[in-house]
Structure 1
Amino acid sequence: MPKPTDSAARRHNAWRNAAAVLVACTCLYEPAIAFAQSTATTPVLQRRTDSRVATALRQNQAETEAVAGTDDAATTDQDGVTTQTVTPPVFNAGDAITDEPDEASSPYEQQLNPYEPTIDGGDVDPSAATNLTPGIRLGTMVLRPTISQTLNTEKQNSSGNSDRRNYMTTGIRGTLNSDWSRHSLTVTGDGAWERNFGGDKSGEEPRASIDADLQLDLAKDTTVNITGGYNFSREDTDDPNALNDASVQSGVHEFSGGVAVARDLGRIRGLAAIELQRNVYSAAKAVDGSSIDLSARDRTGGDVRLRAGYELSPALIPFLEVSSGLTRYDQKFDDTGYQRSSRTYGAKIGTELDLGEKMRGELALGYLRKSYDDQRLDAINGLSVDGDLSWSPQRGTDVSLGLRTTIEDFAGGSQGGWVSHRLTAGLTHQLRNNLVARLTGQITRRNFPSGDTRDVTEYFTAAGLTWSLNRYLDVTGDISYQTTPVYDTGTWRIGAGIAFKR
């Protein structure tokens, strides 16, 4: 018959062996739990253990961190109970190790209504990443260029006569964005060169433009925008200042620059801006091949704008704006003997609208007046409607609307100028992930103060498709029509081509 002391010793040994087995199983089970978790949700596991095995757990925890590189931690409360937090690795066993994403692959054109991540962390619609290119990193800047080549045909109808030309257009455009932590710089460029088939240069309309915007965040509520730009275009044959006896119209060089300071004082929004512009006209080419000097139209202008707004809500900010401008021609008298230097005054009242990702923009009504140095030229004045609006009714669909009123000068004669009202509209819709449709329209109304000159309304509409074979290559197709009923003119243009992006 065994002794009682022997039975107690055996029972004590049995409990000690069971505790050792429990500790060993716990150490083996610990890594299995960590590697069994899904990387999509990255859960955190907590386990409460008795203080007698806390030392073994902490030792096992240190070994696991040294091998797997986890950030697990264990803490002991006042009751001697240990709570261990186990964070699983960010990848599953057997997953391929990928490089960090390149910052240059981020989109450079902000969508008005972008795709948002799903609540459970799943993937968004793949169309959100359509047409994104990595770009070319230049230090702290990212350049994203596009080169296009299109074949086009154009047919012009004027008073029963028609003229057709076939031509090739080479375009280049690009965006240069800064990658700074505080300030920002954006430079955009666009240019197109046309070449007719057959050697005839009539009708060719090259164009080029570049604009830069440097935004400086001087303080929490103060920003400064410094802008500069250059634009070249051929004067349109339907322009009131176009020459009737010219085979090639004048080329217009426009240089611009400005500084704008915006300041927020509580609910009050203040803005002060100065803008400068220089216009230079190259010589036109007559039908007989001679050169027509148009340097008398060269001029320099400047404008000062002051705006004050009040924030009724973050979505609605009414404002009042006043402006004054001065235009000086290089030559005191034009070719017809008139002094066309002038002063411009304006005032308008409107509101800024910001409804987040759905709609934003502004709309204003006002009054414009331009008076000339020559007393023989009557002052031009009229009501103005200005604004721009961007609306995204659903993801993948964007609608834009623009209104602008300006006073333009005649190149010569006994009239000072006219009032121009312009309405532009655009619609883009994503038919598929890689197929985008475009529709644009424009109406220009020119009101002449003299009854001897009829008012003119010009209409323009265009439609196009862009098929993205991949994010580096697009196939495009466009068709447009422009007409001026008063002059009985109409122009059709059809083109198709490809665009290479980087």
Structure 2
Amino acid sequence: MPSTLPIRRCVEAAAAIFLAAIVAAGMPTQAAAQVLDATPGAGDLGLRGNDEAQTFRDEPPVAPPAGSPGGTNPVAAPTPPQAENNAPSIAPNYGRPRKLIKQYGPRKTVNPRPLPPLQPYQTAPEVRAAERKGGPPVTPVAPPPPTVALVPQPPPLRKSILDPNPFAPVGIDVGFLRVTPYIEGDIGYDSNPEQANTGVKGSAYSRVEGGAAFQSEWSNHELKGNLRAGYSDYFSDHNANRPDADGKVDGRIDVTRDTKIDLEGRFTVTTQRPSSPELAPGIPGAAVVGRPLIYGFGGTAGVTQTFNRLSLSLLSTVDRTAYENANLSDGSILRLDRDNYNAYGLRGRASYEITPGLIPFLEAFGDIRRHDVTPDLSGFVRNSTGAGALGGSSFEFSRKLTGQASLGYEDRSYDDKRLKDLRGPVVDGSLVWSPTALTTLTLRAATSFDETDIAGASGSISRRVSLEASHALFRNVTLTGLASFQDTNYTGIKLDEKTYDLGLKAEYSLSRWWVLRASYTLEHLKSTTPGSDYTQNVFLLGLRLQR
């Protein structure tokens, strides 16, 4: 085969002559460089497919010079701008150097929000194990693995707390006290204002009542109370007009965590009915006119010491009862102020907290009563000494059943030996049962040993029991039914009085400030004394303003 070396040398010589002719003709440097770049080097005819050859093939075609055929301007045309942005060739470049493309890094995030910590999902083994053991929820110290964790959900919206009594008064702040005052005006009809057996005459009447409850807002110590006063004005029977009032103020001083001083002040204002056996004038043809007042004032002071669950209390009491003289129909005066007396008492109590809802207690008490004038109008010396004891418990069997009940015995002996001892069982208590959120039943029982000025009678024992049922038809409409029975028995004489009461009340709360009220009361007294029985029907409609 003939040798290829002479042929190769001929080709290289022809290429050199061709390039020299182009330079002599005035070809632009850049175009010549591109042609030169595309020319294979010595020993390489572009047949290997190397990188230089590939770059040459990828380069865009070069525009012909202005002096070449197809050009119109004999002056060389400038290099197009887009040629400068092309990627540089790795082949030798003898023209103007090209700019390299600027490389940009990853985009930076300004103030990135951190991801929330991971928490185990509810079906993770760790969570299920904690639930089986009854322990607190799992809170991982280190982030759990992705297989048992998820991004926590946003916290649920807080539910609004419903007010159980949206129409109750909110009160006002007076210094360190929260005070809830009220005033009420009523108009109604009473079928028997005098509570008499004969000569009964009904009358329309109006009633005004005002009062206030208050409660301290201290972290230590306590002061609270409830005050009330009212007046009834009868349009057709002014002799039946009467006031009534009562109040109590309790105070507690916390000397230490386990030592407390208890204080209490109280008062009552009430009246006696003209037909009462206590108001027998003893004058033929004379009768009591109007309703004589009875005033009661008293106070209590004592100390309570707590030893873990055991509490011991010792209280002293002072009370005074004063009677207003009665006016008789013949113009004379019945002296009732001779029956005024003071009572001084001492009361001790021990209680033990078995559970917060069951606290039994034992209580012992004693007192002496001293009258201002002895003997009384009937010739008896009524100074006396009394003592008694009782046991009971306060309880709270769930929120539906709460209260306190006690049972005991009391004995009272008199300085005048002609008067029999006044003795008998004592039952006191209050039981509140709420079968539903809308219905409340309240059962109360009370026993009291009272003074009298009836000749031959030592005193009277009154036992009272009442049942009250309240039901809320709506959040602002409440119906209340009341039934009570009281038995008053006099020791030493044959005198017994039984009183029956039935009542129905309705309250319609227009707002927290205004309450529309209506009530009906039926009262019947049956006595062993002739001419003392009576029946009374009372209707009332009023408006209450409270704050």
Both structures adopt the same fold (TM-score exceeding 0.5) = yes
State whether residues 343 and 371 of structure 1, in contact with CA within 8 Å, keep that contact through their aligned partners in structure 2.
yes
State whether residues 334 and 412 of structure 1, in contact with CA within 8 Å, keep that contact through their aligned partners in structure 2.
no
- The aligned counterpart of 1:46 is 116
State whether residues 389 and 408 of structure 2, in contact with CA within 8 Å, keep that contact through their aligned partners in structure 1.
yes
Amino acid of the residue matched to residue 513 of structure 2? Y
Instruction: Note if 1:232 corresponds to 2:269.
Output: yes
SS in 1 for 2:240: coil
- The aligned counterpart of 1:436 is 478
Amino acid of the residue matched to residue 166 of structure 2? T
- The aligned counterpart of 1:388 is 430
SS in 2 for 1:206: strand
Amino acid of the residue matched to residue 188 of structure 1? N
Q: 2:227 aligns with which of 189, 204, 214?
A: 189
Q: CA deviation at 1:409?
A: 1.8
In 2, distance between residues paired with 1:343 and 1:309? 26
State whether residues 274 and 289 of structure 2, in contact with CA within 8 Å, keep that contact through their aligned partners in structure 1.
no
In 2, distance between residues paired with 1:310 and 1:120? 44
Amino acid of the residue matched to residue 396 of structure 1? L
- The aligned counterpart of 1:220 is 257
CA deviations on 1:117-153 (whole Å, 9 max, x unpaired) are xx97423445x24323343322222222111110011
Pairing 1:17-32 to 2, within 5 Å after superposition: 17=107, 20=108, 23-24=109-110, 26=112
- The aligned counterpart of 2:213 is 175
Instruction: Note if 1:341 corresponds to 2:383.
Output: yes
Q: CA deviation at 1:328?
A: 0.5
Q: Which moved more, 1:149-158 or 1:434-443?
A: 149-158
Q: CA deviation at 1:386?
A: 1.4
Q: CA deviation at 1:417?
A: 1.1
Q: Which moved more, 1:334-343 or 1:231-240?
A: 231-240
- The aligned counterpart of 1:371 is 413
Q: CA deviation at 1:240?
A: 3.7
Pairing 1:19-418 to 2, within 5 Å after superposition: 20=108, 23-24=109-110, 26=112, 46=116, 121-125=158-162, 128-156=164-192, 159=197, 162-198=200-236, 200-237=237-274, 239-243=276-280, 245-418=287-460
Amino acid of the residue matched to residue 148 of structure 1? E
Q: CA deviation at 1:388?
A: 1.8
- The aligned counterpart of 1:81 is none
In 2, distance between residues paired with 1:465 and 1:12? 87
Q: Which moved more, 1:334-343 or 1:211-220?
A: 211-220
SS in 2 for 1:46: coil
In percent, how many aligned pairs have the same letter? 22
Q: CA deviation at 1:345?
A: 0.7
Q: CA deviation at 1:184?
A: 1.6
SS in 2 for 1:453: coil
SS in 1 for 2:110: helix
In 1, distance between residues paired with 2:503 and 2:341? 33
Q: CA deviation at 1:478?
A: 0.5
SS in 1 for 2:201: strand
- The aligned counterpart of 1:489 is 534
Greater C-alpha Rg:
2
SS in 2 for 1:296: helix
CA 1:168–1:376 in structure 2 vs 1: closer, same or farther (change >3 Å)? same
CA 1:264–1:174 in structure 2 vs 1: closer, same or farther (change >3 Å)? same
State whether residues 277 and 454 of structure 2, in contact with CA within 8 Å, keep that contact through their aligned partners in structure 1.
no
SS in 1 for 2:112: helix
CA 1:393–1:224 in structure 2 vs 1: closer, same or farther (change >3 Å)? farther
In 1, distance between residues paired with 2:385 and 2:301? 21
In 2, distance between residues paired with 1:356 and 1:226? 30
Amino acid of the residue matched to residue 380 of structure 2? Y
State whether residues 407 and 420 of structure 1, in contact with CA within 8 Å, keep that contact through their aligned partners in structure 2.
yes
CA 1:169–1:394 in structure 2 vs 1: closer, same or farther (change >3 Å)? same
In 1, distance between residues paired with 2:359 and 2:366? 23
Instruction: Note if 1:460 corresponds to 2:460.
Output: no
In 1, distance between residues paired with 2:231 and 2:238? 12
In 2, distance between residues paired with 1:474 and 1:173? 15
CA 1:220–1:392 in structure 2 vs 1: closer, same or farther (change >3 Å)? farther
Amino acid of the residue matched to residue 186 of structure 2? T
Q: CA deviation at 1:440?
A: 2.0
Amino acid of the residue matched to residue 140 of structure 1? F
State whether residues 196 and 275 of structure 2, in contact with CA within 8 Å, keep that contact through their aligned partners in structure 1.
no
Amino acid of the residue matched to residue 259 of structure 1? A
- Unmatched segments (≥5 aa) in structure 1: 31-44, 49-76, 79-84, 91-118
Instruction: Note if 1:13 corresponds to 2:50.
Output: no
In 2, distance between residues paired with 1:292 and 1:10? 125
User: Given the two structures, how large is their TM-score scaled by the length of structure 2?
Assistant: 0.69
State whether residues 213 and 228 of structure 1, in contact with CA within 8 Å, keep that contact through their aligned partners in structure 2.
yes
Amino acid of the residue matched to residue 116 of structure 2? Q
User: Given the two structures, how large is their TM-score scaled by the length of structure 1?
Assistant: 0.75
In 1, distance between residues paired with 2:256 and 2:460? 43
- Decide which structure has greater strand share: 1
Amino acid of the residue matched to residue 228 of structure 1? G
Q: CA deviation at 1:168?
A: 0.5
- Which structure ranks higher in relative contact order (CA pairs < 8 Å, sequence separation ≥ 6)? 1
Q: CA deviation at 1:243?
A: 4.0
CA 1:463–1:314 in structure 2 vs 1: closer, same or farther (change >3 Å)? same
Cα RMSD (Å): 3.1
Q: CA deviation at 1:376?
A: 1.4
CA 1:12–1:237 in structure 2 vs 1: closer, same or farther (change >3 Å)? farther
In 2, distance between residues paired with 1:290 and 1:481? 34
Q: CA deviation at 1:3?
A: 7.9
CA 1:299–1:47 in structure 2 vs 1: closer, same or farther (change >3 Å)? same
State whether residues 458 and 490 of structure 2, in contact with CA within 8 Å, keep that contact through their aligned partners in structure 1.
no
Amino acid of the residue matched to residue 171 of structure 1? E
Amino acid of the residue matched to residue 402 of structure 2? R
